Amino acid sequence: MATEHDPNALFVYGSLLDEVKRQEILGHRVEVIEARITGFERRRARYNYIIRVEGAETGGLVMLSLTAEDWRRLDAYEEVPDLYTREEVEAVTDEGPLRCWVYLPTAKCIKQ
């Protein structure tokens, strides 16, 4: 099965799993689907973050159909590039693999 690529999708694994928090940040509801990514482990310092760990798996959601304004608000919430950076990963969904974005921590995020 070929991996689909969605430049307007974001894998989330921490506070953005909460629908109320997503609506508070974006100002509207977005469609989400359950997903997981392999090769990453969820951790927490002051904030939730994931790091690469062979054999690990992290469950979460993929937010779909994000707009340019959504990305602006999400990047501000995640304090890009200070606390997080945005990188592409392959998430696994019930519909198959999906290449999408994820927020990964900077060294500053991990130290807090």
Q: What is the reported pTM?
A: 0.94
Integer Cα distance of 33 and 30 in angstroms: 10
How does pLDDT run along the chain (112 residues), one tens digit per residue? 556 888 899 999 999 999 999 999 999 999 999 999 999 999 998 889 999 999 999 999 999 999 999 999 999 999 999 999 999 999 999 999 999 999 999 999 887 6
State which amino acid sits at residue 86.
R
SS3 annotation, 64-78 = CCCCHHHHHHHHHHC
Q: Which domains does the chain have, with CATH numbers?
A: 4-111 (3.10.490.10)
